[in-house]
Amino acid sequence: MSIPNAVYRENDDDLGVPVYVTDIDKESYRNKFKYHLFCPTENCKAKLVYVQTKPAQFRTWRLEDHLSGCDYEFVRQGIKAGRSAEEINVEMKDDQRRRVLKEALELARMSEQQIENLRAKRREWRINRSPKTDKDNKGPKINVVTVDGIDEGEIAGVTYRSRPVLKRDADVLKETDIGKHRCVTGYFERQVEDEGRIIVTIFRKKTQVKIMFEEAFRANSPNFVGLFHHIDKYLSKYNEAICIGIGEVRLSKDKTQYEVQIFQGEDFTIDGMNLLGLAAHNAHEKF
């Protein structure tokens, strides 16, 4: 969730001054504000991160907790709600899919700087691991998975030997993704119902991707079909949400954009919640 302003505080005794995203750029963030931005709510000590999206925004620093009752506390609650809803669902997908969705969300919430740090770490890792002789080269090959150049394993702290689902931001899908399963991330734009299908349009950097919920989805996850209105309800309050779906990539009929076909309810999340989790979340919200 985007937070309208932050409080800049050098140390605990400092009363702090309010700052807005427009007061900060990449340079000053790195040299001055990083580690010193906090939630604007009185007495809330949650650290914030400056994210250079367009427009730039403040978000909760990863794993930081807000004061109970803080306006910006919901992000965590949302994740909890998603988790419990998933537990209810006995036919839950394997751990890998959930992990991929979760990691994609973490990535989406990272600042440019954090992503840059991950890249630097990967380069270091590659140099240290590069085989020196032919003999060294004969070991089992490790599949290094990159998302915009980031190794997926670095987020989870593991290296995979099997082939996981590749993550793609909506604006970096390419021809070679067609026909394959991908985990696609973007911001919610709108949803429409069209001849029994539900189409959720997401975007990133002006590139739109359509997330398609069709017959296969209805058949696999009938209990999710009636829940799409919860997205609009949620957006009416938070006006921005990160959508992530695992599905098959294809080109639209007019060949102008990519579509991702989702096959089951657990494979699509809004701010980390699948539709069941979102319905549970909305039930506890005041609108």
Which residues contact Zn ion (rule: CB under 5 A)?
Answer: 39, 41, 44, 46, 66, 70, 72
Beta bridge partner(s), residue 244: 185, 269
59 or 102: CB nearest Zn ion = 59
Smallest gap from Cβ 128 to Zn ion, in A, equals 39
Cβ 39 to Zn ion, closest distance in Å? Answer: 3
Q: What is the DSSP letter of 53?
A: S
Return all residues near 161 (Cβ < 8 A) that are at least 6 apart. Answer: 140, 142, 143
Which residue lies nearer to Zn ion by CB, 69 or 157? 69
Which CB, 46 or 147, lies closer to Zn ion?
A: 46
d(CA 278, CA 284): 10
Which phi-psi region, left, alpha or beta, contains residue 251 (left: φ > 0; alpha: ψ -120 to 50)? beta
Closest CB to Zn ion among residues 66, 281: 66
The two tokens of residue 37 are 């931005």
| Residue whose CB is less far from Zn ion, 1 or 118 | 1
Q: Which is nearer to Zn ion, 7 or 183 (CB)?
A: 7
CA distance 169 to 182: 10
> CA angle, 282 as apex, 276 and 284 as ends, to 5°?
115
- Cβ 71 to Zn ion, closest distance in Å? 7
Taking each helix axis from N to C terminus, what angle separates 229-238 and 275-283, rounded to the nearest 10 degrees? 60
Pairing of strands 166-169, 181-194: parallel
Question: What minimum distance in Å lies between the beta carbon of 8 and Zn ion?
Answer: 15
CB of 3 to Zn ion, least distance (A): 8
The least CB distance from residue 70 to Zn ion, in Å, is 3
Q: Give the number of other CB atoms < 10 A from CB of residue 114.
A: 17
